Amino acid sequence: MAKVTFDTPELKPHQETPDLPSVKPGTMQHLKTFPAKPIHNENIGYPGELVEDWQNKAVKRLGELVDGSQALRVFLDTCVKCGACTDKCHYFLGTEDPLNMPVARQDLLRSVYRRYYTFAGKHFPKLVGAKDFDKPMLDDWYNYFHQCSQCRRCSVFCPYGIDTAEISMAAREIMDSIGVGQKYCNEILAKVHVIGNNLGLPEPALVNTLEGLEEDVEEDTGVLVRFPVDQKGADVLLITPSADFFAEPHIDGLIGYGKVFHQAGISWTLSSHASEAANFSMFIGSSDNLKKTAMRIREAALELGVKRIIVGECGHAWRVAYSFWNTLIGPFDFLDPKYPAPQHIVEFTYDLIQRGALKLDKEANDHRRITFHDSCNVARASRMGNIPGGQFILPREVIKAAANHFFDMAPDTIHEKTFCCGGGGGLLTDDLMELRVKGAMPRMQALKQVVDENDVNTLVAICAICKTQFAKTLPYYQFQGDMITSLHEVVGDAIQLGTKN
């Protein structure tokens, strides 16, 4: 892999949010994520290489997508270029490249839509900024629609609710349909279809890993905490990102889930058929793959005869589960109607704490001074609990029930205004490291403030992508890479195994 050198943005002392940059065109023009090999594209139903007559085919696919999506159709018409979104994207703030301003990114697609599908763009292209879909445009699409993490922060601030994520998903689907795919997403999706998870971890390896985990936990605590796979008749099917099976700090979160189930005395199981919560189909806007990947969960739940489905700590997976599962793989009439379907592990733990069914020893976390990073897909594309904004309240309440020292970052950088970690949306790949580091800057700036002022030493997140991204990028900003911690590690550490609740 070519070694790319770049400067890490500098953090300012005592500042909640980054300074507003002036635009520097072309600063990220060079950054092109690795293209998929033909086999990666073909495995998930797309042409292997750039097809003949690709311009016309792309334009046609764009038309089909617009016809099938109210969001896309309305968003392409309603933007007035007011500029409200221009300073909201973490990638623009970190890279200063104007094509990373949400409206400019959207305009890459909007200008093509106008050229081929609107009266003004067909007859007066220069006047309304309509452009041909040619090779330079395709290159810009490839580079800049792979510099969007689909985090929806811009949409929160748009007077019309225009969501760049929808446009970036459509652009990736159009590119895939003409044989221009991204290696990272497409290769991973094929692994899910063939093996069952993103990591390509086959069933025997999964079983081995979990047995090893049981031994480790027993060694540490003296208590046998089970991590069952394919256990028919269990009450709960846990669907969790496969990173939880061995990446750090994810695996400590998995241990935490296990301890929670153990203490609550509720039987649960993982599934080797659906050993992956992630569904990267959303990132590439592929409806066929989205449904196919989600369907494994329904099949696993029916096969194992569970009563509930609970989803582990994963941001985009929770969006797919919460917002899309009922549509794609519902109805869930075979599950116990007493519980929401699906349910987030944080909702599950929160309910146990509320009922007094989980005794937590806060002092066990006294060495931690904690802040919480709201993951974008949880914050802006889903909910927990039964009130709007529960996705902000529940994780914080669980942390506060398990630890004594909690400090929120600046209000403009949390809740629905949270800054993306910089690695979401299918960008968590080493070939985009420059983008990931620069895009993390706004979050790092807010983190620096609570580190400096409150001696925060622990950054808690509930998303596998956020955790991996932070573990890798924190050191660029002179923080300890291991300050990123799974929420359920904090919970797990506060659980006193062997004691009666």
Partner 1 sequence: MTLSVVFAILFYAATLLLVVGVARKIAVYARTPAPLKIPVTPAPLTRAGVVWRMTKEVTVFRSLFFSNKWIWLFGWMFHVALALVLARHLRYFTEPVWGWVVLIQPFGKYAAFAMITGLAGLWARRFLVDRVRYISSPSDHLMLALLMAIALSGLGIKYLSHTDIIDIKAYMLGLMYFDWQPLPADGFVLLHFTLIIILMVVFPISKLLHAPGMFFAPTRTQVDNAREVRHTAGWTADSTAK
One DSSP character per residue, 28-92 reads TTT--PPBPPHHHHHHTTS-SSPPTTHHHHHHHHHHHHHHH-HHHHHHHHH-----TTTTT-HHH
CB of 501 to partner 1, least distance (A): 28
- String of contacts with partner 1 for each residue 119-148, x by CB under 8 A: xx---x-xxxx-------------------
Site string for partner 1, 291-320 (x = CB under 8 A): x---x--x----------------------
* CB of residue 187 to partner 1, shortest distance in Å: 25
User: In terms of Cα–Cα distance, which of 297, 298, 394 is closest to 345?
Assistant: 394
Nearer to partner 1, 2 or 127 (CB): 127
| Measured CA distances, 293 to 89, 352, 423 (Å) | 29, 30, 21
- Judged by CB under 8 A, which stretch of 143-151, 178-186, 202-210, 389-397 contacts partner 1? 389-397
Q: Does 380 bind partner 1 (CB under 8 A)?
A: yes
Between 39 and 302, name the residue whose CB sits nearer to partner 1. 302
Work out which of 94, 143, 149, 163 binds partner 1, going by CB under 8 A: 163
- Cα–Cα dist 18/236, whole Å: 43
Residue 121 CB, shortest distance to partner 1, in Å, is 9
How far lies 211's CA from each of 207, 225, 245, 264, 424, in Å? 6, 10, 11, 21, 31
382 touching partner 1, by CB under 8 A = yes
Shortest Cβ 103–partner 1 spacing (Å): 5
Coil, helix or strand for 401? Answer: helix
Across the beta sheet with 343-344, the strand order is: 268-269, 236-239, 308-311, 343-344
Binding-residue pattern over the window 315 to 354 for partner 1, x denoting contact by CB under 8 A = -------xxx-xxxxxx--------xxx------------
Contact of 314 with 344, CB cutoff 8 Å:
no
Tell me the site size for partner 1, rule CB under 8 A. 76
Query: By C-beta, is 88 or 259 nearer to partner 1?
Result: 88
Build a one-symbol-per-residue string for 164-193: x at contacts with partner 1 by CB under 8 A, - elsewhere: --x---------------------------
CB nearer to partner 1: give 5 or 386.
386
Window 212 to 241, contacts with partner 1 (CB under 8 A): none
Give the strand pairing for 370-372 and 458-461: parallel
CA quadruple 388, 263, 239, 271: dihedral, nearest 10: -160
Contacts with partner 1 in 11-50 (CB under 8 A)? 22-23, 25
Residues between 65 and 104 that touch partner 1 (CB under 8 A): 66-71, 73-75, 77-88, 98, 101, 103-104
Beta bridge partners of 182: 35
- Restricting to residues 415-434, name those near partner 1 by CB under 8 A: 416
Written as six digits, the tokens of 81 are 């270029």
Between vectors from CA 106 to CA 100 and to CA 109, what angle results, nearest 5°? 120
Which 470-499 positions form the footprint of partner 1 (CB under 8 A)?
none
